[in-house]
A and B are shown apart, each in its own frame.
Chain A
Amino acid sequence: MSIDLALIWAVIIGFGVIMYVIMDGFDLGLGILYPFAPDEDSRDVMMNSVAPVWDGNETWLVLGGAGLLGAFPLVYSVFLPALYIGVFLMLAGLIFRGISFEFRFKSHKNRRWWNRAFFLGSAIAAFAQGAVVGAYIQGFAVEDFRYVGGALDWLTPFTVLTGLGLMAGYALLGATWLIMKSEGHVQQWAYAITPKLLLTVLAVFAIVSIWTPLVSPEVYSRWMDTFQLIWIFPVLALLCSGLVYRSVKRQDEGLPFVMALGIFLFTYLGLIASKWPVIVPPNYTIWDASSAPESQLFLLIGFLFVIPIVLAYTAWTYWVFRGKVKVGEGYH
């Protein structure tokens, strides 16, 4: 094969993951902020601001899962057994969250319960995803292409921290999204909480950055000796953080969200650069983890066809539902 299919697929899956994280991130974040909202009106606004788009955002999760089985089956068959309990919790969280999206508006007598389901589902799903990131940094006990560790090996102080860190990060995305989509007292509340969330995220960011080289010696050597250019990513992420803070102080509406996305993007790129080309840490690369070239090629045809459609559809949805969400109204 003259074309490196594994490389193409790594780009596609990498793109799918970041699409999922930044898009489902802000609506999971709103769910995490739910109990802290000042009143039921603001909860209506929060939910209405993501109701049109949240399910489209989750498309990327299913597409990514299916794509992994087709293109990098080793990732699929190592990560899922290793993160067994976490995966279950994430799915349960996403399901409860999904049905509360459907029924909260249709329900009057039991709205409290749907609020709780929405918060718990979002919080659990976000924590589980953060723990997955931490587990990926730690690496897995793999022998002969099979996971050989225990059920709760992934649950370490480090992954608890990354889990909580991603919850804070998602909440930051949620708050800055709300600044963009709301007005009046709801928006003022979002402005007020954003700096606090930003500080939490930065604190976690700092601890994880110091801790990561300690749990992963390969990463340490890459950061310290071989690949100096890598430092650009944390610098850019910090720059974005500063701009989030400044734009909130200046009461900008769109910039905080864009800059919060920037924090995520550069952190993600930094993580990939730390590990590349390893996809199942500690020692399997994207080429080791690939399915047969004929399978990767067969599936590529379908993906190249559908990804532009999903992207266009997503963009169109965001365009249709652009603008502010007002208190006391759904979209008509």
Chain B
Amino acid sequence: MELDPLILSRLQFAFVVSFHAIFPVFTIGLASYIAVLHGLFYKTANQAWDRLAQFWTKVFAVVFGMGVVSGIVMSFQFGTNWSNFSYATSNFLGPILSYEVVTAFFLEAAFLGVLLFGRNKVPQGVHLFAAIMVAIGTFISSFWILSANSWMQTPAGYELIDGRFHITSWLEAIFNPSFWYRFAHMGMASFLTGGFVVAGVSAWYLLRNRDVEANKKALSMCLWLLLFLTPAQALIGDFHGLNTLEHQPTKVAAMEGNWETRSNVPLLLFALPDQENQTNRFELGIPNMASIILKHSADGVIPGLSEVAPEEQPPVALVFWSFRVMVGIGFLMIGVALLGLILRRKGRIFESPLFLKTLVAMIITPFVAVLAGWIVTEAGRAPWLVYGVMTHAQGLTPSLTGAMALFTLIGYVAVYSVVFVVGVYYLTRVVRNGMHDDPIEVKGEVERPKRPFSAAHTPLDDDLGDRTAGANVS
């Protein structure tokens, strides 16, 4: 068995970036929610908003901390495994990724501390302002990252000199053709992630009769939000798809499982793409639907995978199925939001245990959808690293051997497994311990904004007692 450094490096990057991405996608949405909670408390002086804000800030602290830890590795990944790519693209990606770091540090230095530790120490208005700034800061961070990624998908504003990219227009490069679509789609995904997690945790508390007043407010609010955002996300996704069709037709062909350029393309609900024979072995679809969606007419012509040679095609089955997972979850989310509306009209939104349990189960879905979506866009770009200009193979570190790549792949999986298990375990304890009259807390810890975990105060392995009983019926 010959170890292929290219495959292993791609696996490693996929693993590291996936592991990292789940944290920011949650914190971006949550930061905005916390800012809204602070705003509501500021306006109404209702203690329930304050309790919610306090609790979710603790969760935010832990998730943010895990995002930072896993992000440090990201900033070295490009150089270790993709040094040719780093060197060739450094004139653009260097400053752009650095600006993300600069933004993040500025945010931490200035506002995160006030948000995490400033309660009762700074005026309420200042605390609210800090919450808003943290929310804005998370968006600015994602702005830079998505600009970098979009540029790799739809490169613009550059010229190639001796195999290196030189930027001729920063504006064209930063706001490249796919940027706004991706930014909107990802921002909306963050809101949906925040919304479903908050709704699910609130439902979990309601099932246990804990802080009913605050959690009813939170749940009701989330369901209104999701009712509007879930269809909006489908719409943004559709526009994003049209943009991809324009710039990366092969990716769309893989998403649709469409091998030949033709009209009246069906929307496949199920298929088994067979890359070797350049065909689908089994198809089940809605006639003409893909043409209607992408070209707004039944006989619209859609380019197929056969436009490019087989070795220039992405891994079709992976892209095809990841896309269906993402879209399927999207429709499931719309369904749950509509169900919430129906129950609300009957006044049974908080009374149906089945619905509340459904919401708890939905917590995981936005994360799966986000990862599936990233697999669609990243695997769908293959074999290109910078679309149409540089392939994965050209971007790889020339001195990298299969054994080296395998060693670090196993290493990162091991390190991250420990971080993830401990972090998620701790997070569940924060949730179990939170929203409580007298949460058990660690005393005498050093509180520091750059150590966000220190804002959570929950012990790691002491007994929390039976916190699941209905101890708090307000």
User: Residues of A at under 8 Å CB distance from B?
Assistant: 48, 51-52, 55-56, 58-59, 61-63, 65-67, 69-71, 73-74, 76-82, 84-85, 87-88, 91-92, 94-96, 98-99, 101-103, 105-110, 145-151, 291-292, 294-295, 298-299, 302-303, 305-306, 309-310, 313, 317, 321, 329-332
Contact = CB atoms under 8 A, between A and B. Distances in A.
Contacts of B180: none
Contacts of B419: 95, 99
Contacts of A145: 87
Nearest to B457: A106
Contact of A65 (B76, B102, B403, B415): B76
A76 B105 contact: no
B92 A295 contact: yes
B461 A109 contact: yes
A51 B448 contact: yes
Contact of B415 (A92, A309, A317): A92
Interface string B152-186: 00000000000000110010000000000000000
A305 B106 CA distance: 9
B432 to A, nearest CB: 14
B102 A81 contact: no
Given A52-B446, A88-B411, A309-B110, A146 B451 contact: no
Given A84-B80, A109-B461, A77 B451 contact: no
B101 A99 contact: no
Contacts of A146: 83-84, 87, 398-399
B35 to A, nearest CB: 22
A149 B97 CA distance: 28
Given A66-B94, A291-B94, 7 more contacts: A62-B101, A66-B101, A70-B95, A79-B79, A98-B69, A99-B419, A146-B399
A294 B167 contact: yes
Contacts of B261: none
Contacts of A102: 65, 451, 453-454
A73 B401 CA distance: 22
Given A98-B69, A107-B460, A302 B102 contact: yes
A59 B105 contact: yes
Most chain A beta carbons < 10 A, residue from B76, B90, B97, B408: B90
Given A101-B451, A295-B167, A48 B415 contact: no
B102 A291 contact: no
Contacts of A108: 459, 461-462
Nearest to A140: B399
Interface of B is mostly: helix
B450 interface: yes
Nearest to A92: B415
Interface of B: 65, 69, 72-73, 75-76, 78-80, 83-84, 86-87, 90-95, 97-102, 105-106, 109-110, 166-167, 170, 397-401, 403-404, 407-408, 411-412, 415, 418-419, 422-423, 426, 442-448, 450-451, 453-454, 458-462
B105 A310 contact: yes
Nearest to A303: B102
Nearest to B110: A309
Contacts of B105: 59, 62-63, 306, 309-310
Contact of A106 (B397, B412, B458): B458
Contact of A291 (B73, B90, B101, B403): B90
B464 to A, nearest CB: 12
Contacts of A58: 72
In the A-B complex, the 9 residue pairs with the closest CB atoms? A73-B90, A80-B79, A70-B94, A330-B444, A77-B87, A77-B83, A55-B450, A66-B98, A106-B460
19 contacts: A55-B448, A74-B87, A76-B83, A76-B86, A77-B87, A81-B80, A81-B400, A85-B404, A95-B73, A96-B418, A106-B453, A107-B460, A108-B461, A110-B460, A147-B399, A306-B105, A313-B110, A330-B445, A332-B444
Contact of B86 (A77, A106, A305, A306): A77
Contacts of A70: 90, 94-95, 97-98
B94 A52 contact: no
Given A102-B451, A294-B167, A295-B92, A302 B86 contact: no
Contacts of B453: 102-103, 106
Nearest to A51: B446
B72 A84 contact: no
A94 B100 CA distance: 21
Most chain A beta carbons < 10 A, residue from B110, B399, B415: B399
A108 B110 CA distance: 33
B422 A99 contact: yes
Contact of B75 (A59, A62, A149, A302): A62
Contact of B76 (A63, A91, A305, A317): A91
Contacts of B87: 73-74, 76-77, 145-146
Most chain B beta carbons < 10 A, residue from A102, A108, A109, A146: A102
B436 to A, nearest CB: 17
Contact of A299 (B73, B84, B94, B407): B94
A80 B83 contact: yes
Contacts of B167: 292, 294-295
A51 B444 CA distance: 12
Contacts of B99: 299, 302
Most chain B beta carbons < 10 A, residue from A65, A67, A149: A65
Contacts of B72: 58, 61-62, 91, 94-95
Given A291-B90, A309-B106, A149 B399 contact: yes
Nearest to B85: A77
A10 to B, nearest CB: 15
Contact of A331 (B93, B399, B446, B450): B446
